[in-house]
Amino acid sequence: MLVERKEVLNEDQSIGYIESVFDSDNVLKTTYFPQNQRLYIAFSRGHTYSYGNINPELYQEFEDAESQGKFFHKKINNNKSYPARKEFTLYPNEVKDLKQIVENKKDEWIRLAEENQIDEQLDDE
């Protein structure tokens, strides 16, 4: 599930790249470059791979998927249409920071849900 998304624009206001963080057992973070059609995926253990020929529509499907890990394994992984290469490994503190972003967002969602329940109860009175 998408937790955080940031678009970084070029000088001409086109999208330079998109960084996204996910609440997923498999996928921690992606960085997508639409002009190059290259997707970088940082997995839960920190290993980061890039995949070529990822068009914007496929990236949007990936981002919108109920499970990014399942989508990745079904549509992208081991698909010769999307050549892969290992890029780098995140440092343990980077993995920890990304997981903390996810936990903070989950805490925020819980707090908002609780506030909405209180508001609904007050509206009913």
**Each residue of 72-106: pLDDT tens digit?**
999 999 999 999 999 999 999 999 999 999 999 99
Q: Give exposure, 29-39, as e/b (b: 16+ Cβ within 10 Å).
A: bbbbbbeebbb
Confidence tier at 61 by pLDDT (50, 70, 90)? very high
pTM: 0.85
Is the predicted pLDDT of residue 125 greater than 70, yes or no? no
Q: What is the mean pLDDT of residues 1-11?
A: 95
Q: What is the mean pLDDT of residues 11-21?
A: 96
**What is the structure's pLDDT at 117?**
72
Confidence tier at 122 by pLDDT (50, 70, 90)? low
8 Å CB contact between 62 and 26: no
